[in-house]
Amino acid sequence: MFEKILIANRGEIAVRVLRACKEMGIPTVAVFSEVDRRALHTRYADEAYCIGPPPARESYLVIDKIIEVAKASGAKAIHPGYGFLAENPLFADRCEKEKIKLIGPSAYAMRTMGSKTLARKTVQAAGVPVVPGTVDPISSEEEVFRVAREIGFPVMLKATAGGGGKGLRLVREEGELRSSLRMAKSEAKSAFSDDSVYIEKYIENPRHVEIQILGDQHGNYVHLCERECSIQRRHQKVIEESPSVIIAPEVRAAMGKVAIEAARAVKYEGAGTCEFLVDRKRNFFFLEMNTRLQVEHPVTEMVTGIDIVKEQIRVAAGEKLSIRQEDVSQTGHAIECRVYAEDPEKNFIPCPGTVTSLRIPGGPGVRDDSGMYAGFEIPIYYDPIISKLVAWGKDRTEAIARMKRALAEYVVTGVKTTIPFHIRVMNNRHFVAGDFDTNFIDKVFFKEEEARELEHGEVALVAAAIQVHAEERKHAVAQKPGEAGGPVSMWKYSTRPGIRKIG
């Protein structure tokens, strides 16, 4: 086993990996940017090294700095988490050259699956069903028009190097194609420094179902069943669950089988995920393979009892998978809600700031994977995900009830979060019935929400009036002569830098 592991990430996922290392008794090394000195992962690791200024491209994305810290600290392996360098084949190449084990697949597997067109070719050859479209990136505008006409509208434009919903454009008719192409290219350019795009037939009202796989260096593979991730806002997953209500045992087995074939085609090592679109007739089409740990991996862990991060680490150390396919089954049901520092009342605008108070839910069947604490300032520089709340129940009904209960317990003040949004989804009749597709949130849910009557309107008024009243009273007290020197205003006075006396 590794003597020491470096975690080349931040936030909740760095903490998640640190937890696995701690449980395995492996010493840990954190890296942090100047703005993350007080971040949880920096505090939580055994060692921590500053790697530069706040912008990720000057810190978390700088391969040289990560490698330098690995050498200085004596870390023999690097866990990249998700995002940042997790799917960067140049980083994988460099680790190999420096004889530091990257906990993840080979650079070859990353390159193949990272290029969506190459991935399509490869998995198609392995017998995996794919969505109709181009196989090669398209550079010229004429070519885009020709292919779009050939496969028929609606079509999807996708960044070749894309992910996370960026560089993605739905084009319903030919008239929209030119401007959509321009936007997709410019988004792709700024997000991935690569403006090549490809084109795919758009599957109407699909569900997004993905298969988690694990592979070792000895050619053994297992799949850990499916996760359904159809609850998306603007093509970004926000709620995931396992099992999926639409996947029958035989479909699960078939999807698992092709996911393993896709992994085998690139000699995949570690944890990976094959994403599929499922149409109304329950046909499934390969979408892409993510060559890293997924954000939503906890739902799989909750129903299978398998610690995916520990398996990743063991496999990277050369051990054989500790499980065989027949050992894998889903027990009960798990749901994950991604908690973002965003304001659901203002079109989910990012809402960085200081967490002034925090109450984390607990009790049976609840797991909170978070990177924040009370007093932590959520920086403006990184992804707005601050926590993942997971609820497990003996069935979906109990899991939903438990999630509702846990969300109601979750209190974050100082920054706006998506917790209220999740409460409303858990209460939505379509969600409860399992009746949704990837367009549900944007097309159905928000409309239904607008029409809904709110509860406790009177309490809301009363509470606001009391708060205004309390503030007016405080203000009035402070303004009275003779009381201006009370403890509150003195405190403010003494901390105002301009008038502080330096003794």
Partner 1 sequence: MNYVATVGEREVKVTVEVLGGSNYKVTLDGREVVVDAHQVANHLWSVLYGYASLEVDVTPVPGDAFEVLINGDCHKFALMNEQRRAMIRAGGKGAAGKAMVTSPMPGKVVKLLVSEGEEVKVDQGVIVVEAMKMENELKSAIAGKVKEIFVAEGEVVESGAKLLLVE
Q: What minimum distance in Å lies between the beta carbon of 48 and partner 1?
A: 23
Residue the block writes with tokens 């998978």: 321
Closer Cβ to partner 1, 97 or 475, answer by number: 475
Q: Which is nearer to partner 1, 38 or 282 (CB)?
A: 38
Sign of CA dihedral 62, 63, 65, 70: positive
Q: How many C-beta atoms surround the C-beta of residue 501 within 10 A?
A: 5
What is the nearest approach in angstroms of partner 1 to the Cβ of residue 315? 30
> Smallest distance from the beta carbon of 451 to partner 1, in angstroms?
13
Helix (H, G, I), strand (E, B) or coil at 77: strand
In the block, tokens 């993905």 appear at: 210
> Burial level of 125, CB count in 10 A (0-12/13-18/19+)?
exposed
Pairwise CA distance, residues 215 & 69, whole Å = 28
State the minimum distance, in angstroms, from the CB of residue 418 to partner 1: 10
Min dist CB 379 to partner 1, Å, is 8
CB nearer to partner 1: pick between 272 and 344? 344
> In this complex, which beta carbon is closest to partner 1, that of residue 456 or of residue 501?
456
Q: Please check whether residue 387 is in contact with residue 406, taking contact to mean a CB–CB distance below 8 angstroms.
A: no
| Residue 193 exposed, middle or buried by CB count within 10 Å (0-12, 13-18, 19+) | exposed
Catalytic residue among 94, 233, 292, 367: 292
For partner 1, the binding residues (CB under 8 A) are 190, 341, 344-346, 349-353, 356-357, 380-384, 407-408, 411, 413-414, 416, 419-424, 427, 454-470, 472-473
Choice between 332 and 353, CB closer to partner 1 = 353
Closer by beta carbon to partner 1, 135 or else 461: 461
Are the beta carbons of 320 and 312 closer than 8 angstroms? no
Closest to partner 1 by CB, 135 or 477: 477
Q: Tell the smallest beta-carbon distance from residue 337 to partner 1 (Å).
A: 11
- For residues 372 and 296, what is the distance between their CA atoms, to the nearest angstrom? 18
Task: Measure the CA–CA gap between 409 and 390, rounded to whole angstroms.
Answer: 13
To the query of whether residue 496 is one of the catalytic residues in this protein, the response is: no
CB of 414 to partner 1, least distance (A): 8
Place of tokens 């940017």: 33
Burial of 158 per CB tally in 10 Å (0-12, 13-18, 19+):
buried
For 216-231, b/e burial (b = at least 16 CB within 10 A) is: bbeeebbbbbbbbbbb
Q: Phi and psi for 105 in degrees, rounded to 5? A: -75, 175
Q: What is the residue whose two structure tokens read 């592991």?
A: 5
CA–CA gap between residue 265 and residue 267 (Å, rounded): 6
**Among all residues, which ones are annotated catalytic?**
292
